[in-house]
Structure 1
Amino acid sequence: MARRNRENNTPPIDAAQLFALAPQLRELLKGVSQVELEHFSMEIGDLDLFIPLSGGNPAPAIPGVPAAPAQPPVKPADLIRESYVRTSSDFPGRIREVRLGATKAEGGSRCRSITIGGATAPAYSDPARPPLHSPVISLDVFDMPVTLPRVLRENVADVIEDPAEWAKMNVKKFGADVVTVHLTSTDPLFRNAPASAAVKTVEEVLQAVDVPLIIGGCGDPRKDAEVFSAVAEMAEGERLLINSVTLDMAEAGTLERVATAARDHGHALLAFTGLDLNNAKELNRRLYEYIPPEQIVMDLTTVALGYGLEYSFTIHERARYAALMGDAELAHPTISAATNAWAAREAWMKMAPEYGSRQLRGPVWETVNALTLLLSGVDLFLMMHPAAVLTMREVIPRLPTVGTAQAGQIANWVGVRI
């Protein structure tokens, strides 16, 4: 344990003597934070020195020395108080504004036009800078009967055969700001309805309602180009939103046809890409060759809850921050097809009782999709279920006031007993 001193040949201190000195050493070291040793040398293994520590793991016991009594843990009497100071950041960029629909004075026939975009800060991050234009809700209409989950179908069963009546119900009963007309029947792999039939459907819907319209295609780049060009010409001046143009159209050589038709007849374009900001920027760059940026809206893709919704949120948030930091190629308003929530099996299929009623699951799924992307800054939502729409109507006006309540108005949710 110890060795004889080589210089003065004094006898070593044996282990028993060393342990006997331990209490005195401990007493002497009380309150001492630093010990300086002179003329001291030690080889590893010669001496084990144990210094009791406060907190953490207890120091190893020293034989012959009574252990200190364990101290009972102290129960906190209150929460740690921390202050929060809101900071306001100025961003160099700004989201462009895009106008949808045109009144008679503007060359169309709508009761009013709707402007989306214009944000100068991340969504609802600063009460002093609320969204310039409140988010807008569009309800879907299909130009032919389609397969829908029962909980959706029961709301539209009486009008599912008539797109014009369906659109009218969406506006008068469910309060749609905009109506989206999906020209599903034009799909070459389905009915392959001609462009003339699509034009007639859009014309009937324009006469049935006086809100702005979004015109959706079938997804085939060549057929959509034919249909969109015909519809754009028929509805000149109505400021439709053509849904959508893609990079597939660029590869098929039809992008220029649709973009110039929208430009020449006064419509806006929805640029659709799949969760890839580089593709979104590339598509926008191509569109700038034919149409002003103020006529472009972006669809970055909405993925259903449980199937990648968090990735959709991230893509939208990244795009918004990049635009506010000065990336002009991403400085466009965005839409979200919250109806994609119904692609999730959990939203509509029969499941075990613990998953709840299908009557509630589907609307909840669509609501969560919409609310999630609302917080990322989405400007326009494509929706279907009235309950989901009602929830969005309740939430949207409240968000700009977040952070303005007085302390006494906030519930003590931490200490509440249920």
Structure 2
Amino acid sequence: MRIPKLIIDAAEWLEELKEFEEIELENVTIDVKNGIIEFSAPVLIPQMMREEERRAEIKIPEYRPFVQEWKNRIEEVQLGATEEEGGTRKKVFRIGGENGMPFYPGSEMKNRPLVTFDVFDMPPPLPKAIRDHFEDVMEDPVAWAKRGLELGANLVTIHLVSTDPRTKDRTPEEAAETVRELLENVEVPLVIGGSGNPEKDPLVLEACAKAAKGERCLLASATLDIDYERIARAAIENNHVVLAWTSIDINQQKELNRKLLNLGLRRDQLVMDPTTAVLGYGIEYTISVMQRMRLEGLKGDKELSFPMSSGTTNAWGAREAWMKREDWGDRMLRGPLWETITGVTMLLCGVDLFMMLHPRSVQTLQNIIDQLSRIAEKGVEYENWITM
């Protein structure tokens, strides 16, 4: 038996109902025993409110991020000196000066964080990923420094590793000559590092400080277990800045800073290096210590309110950064990633100066600093965070 169909033209039905703003069906029962009700077109419920009226009813509250006001500002330190200031630098930089944690709402990043490129006065054993960029200039510190600046660094760090008695045992005077050559050939400020030998480094840094008198170089570095007094006096007498290096210990950092200041070092002549433990090798300890130092400095601890430096190059000490293991991925990319992630982590802890080795790491970190600076400057549309 064929079941008859009852066909209702939905379009005609809706046309008849257009004049009504609202339709209400009450106690309606549709009982079809021997038929099928079939709509010839989909039923569209008339829109009772225009789109703009609906939006007007939805009020998006204004988001106001919490702004922490701190008692103290981080010390501002100038690196390099122009001819008018007693030096010969065409470019000078300032670090520090923050009044809050990096890139936070309400925080003033008075000076952009900087990258200084590591250069050595003799070819050291370096991973292939780095050697490929510098193999042709590693015998010439000046050419190496210029290459690093071309590849995106702001400053140059010269590591005078040849002065170590276990290598070439070059004299402090020979090291000073290397510094003079660099000052004559590059326009940016220098960071001057020794070899790590506790007996030789104070003598080397003293000689280099005299050779670079008035240039406001960063002498790297003074520690509690070497003759920090000699280094401090050299900085005071020749107008330089001292890098105070400790081993992830707030109390040691406070002690060293206090002793250097008591020797007569001005507050604008001091930068801290609390040690950078790298990704996978204790980076969480460095995060904790650096953040605590910065927060205590902002709260008013005058012994900790100084700019911070990071030996981001330490990332290359991690075997994951350079070891040839196919299951770990391409080491030519893995190494720069290791250094970059270490650097970004330190950036968010408040570091102002990054010592780095690989061009790609330098460029990536510089790009991240630029992006975060733009976001911090113009603010964030928090309501549209999904599409940012």
TM range (shorter): 0.7 to 0.9
Other-structure match for 2:292:
318
User: How many Å separate the matches in 2 of 1:396 and 1:130?
Assistant: 14
Q: What is the DSSP-based 3-state SS (H/G/I as helix, E as strand, rest coil) of the residue aligned with 1:391?
A: helix
Q: 318, 335, 339: which one pairs with 2:313? A: 339
The answer on 1:283 being equivalent to 2:262 is no
Consecutive unaligned residues in structure 2, runs of 5 or more:
1-59
Q: 145, 156, 161: which one pairs with 2:134? A: 156
Q: What is the DSSP-based 3-state SS (H/G/I as helix, E as strand, rest coil) of the residue aligned with 1:115?
A: strand
Alpha carbons 2:272, 2:306 under 8 Å: kept: yes
Relative to structure 1, the CA distance from residue 227 to residue 407 in structure 2 (aligned partners, 3 Å threshold; closer, same or farther) is closer
Q: 67, 71, 81: which one pairs with 1:88? A: 67
Other-structure match for 1:241:
218
- List aligned pairs for 1:57-136, cutoff 5 A: 85-126=64-105, 128-136=106-114
TM-score (norm 1): 0.75
Alpha carbons 1:165, 1:208 under 8 Å: kept: no
* Offset from partner CA, 1:139-191 (integer Å, 9 cap, x none): 010000111000000000110000011111112x2132110000001112222
Other-structure match for 2:188:
211
Other-structure match for 1:147:
125
User: How many Å separate the matches in 2 of 1:82 and 1:369?
Assistant: 38
User: How many Å separate the matches in 2 of 1:225 and 1:205?
Assistant: 20
Q: AA paired with 2:364?
A: T
Q: AA paired with 2:127?
A: P
TM-score (norm 2): 0.81
User: How many Å separate the matches in 2 of 1:407 and 1:166?
Assistant: 45
Q: AA paired with 1:372?
A: T
User: How many Å separate the matches in 2 of 1:103 and 1:360?
Assistant: 39
Q: 366, 370, 374: which one pairs with 1:397? A: 370
- List aligned pairs for 1:41-60, cutoff 5 A: none
Q: 238, 241, 259: which one pairs with 1:265? A: 238
Bigger Cα Rg: 1
Instruction: Give the count of matched residue pairs.
Output: 326
* Offset from partner CA, 1:115-140 (integer Å, 9 cap, x none): 100111111111x3331000001001
Other-structure match for 1:303:
277
User: How many Å separate the matches in 1 of 2:128 and 2:234?
Assistant: 38
The answer on 1:370 being equivalent to 2:346 is no
Percent identity over paired residues? 44
The answer on 1:357 being equivalent to 2:349 is no
The answer on 1:381 being equivalent to 2:357 is no
Deviation of the 1:404 alpha carbon? 2.2
The answer on 1:166 being equivalent to 2:144 is yes
Q: AA paired with 1:258?
A: I
Q: What is the DSSP-based 3-state SS (H/G/I as helix, E as strand, rest coil) of the residue aligned with 1:370?
A: helix
Deviation of the 1:405 alpha carbon? 3.0
Q: What is the DSSP-based 3-state SS (H/G/I as helix, E as strand, rest coil) of the residue aligned with 2:275?
A: coil
Q: AA paired with 2:147?
A: M
User: How many Å separate the matches in 1 of 2:174 and 2:201?
Assistant: 13
User: How many Å separate the matches in 2 of 1:183 and 1:342?
Assistant: 19
Deviation of the 1:412 alpha carbon? 5.1
Q: AA paired with 1:159?
A: V
Q: What is the DSSP-based 3-state SS (H/G/I as helix, E as strand, rest coil) of the residue aligned with 1:86?
A: coil
Q: AA paired with 1:98?
A: V
Consecutive unaligned residues in structure 1, runs of 5 or more:
1-80, 414-418
* Offset from partner CA, 1:30-50 (integer Å, 9 cap, x none): xxxxxxxxxxxxxxxxxxxxx
Q: What is the DSSP-based 3-state SS (H/G/I as helix, E as strand, rest coil) of the residue aligned with 2:199?
A: helix
* Offset from partner CA, 1:192-247 (integer Å, 9 cap, x none): 11111101111111111010000001122221111111111111001110000000
Relative to structure 1, the CA distance from residue 408 to residue 321 in structure 2 (aligned partners, 3 Å threshold; closer, same or farther) is closer
Deviation of the 1:407 alpha carbon? 4.9
Alpha carbons 1:167, 1:208 under 8 Å: kept: no
Deviation of the 1:409 alpha carbon? 4.8
Q: What is the DSSP-based 3-state SS (H/G/I as helix, E as strand, rest coil) of the residue aligned with 1:329?
A: coil
Alpha carbons 2:76, 2:307 under 8 Å: kept: yes
The answer on 1:256 being equivalent to 2:229 is yes
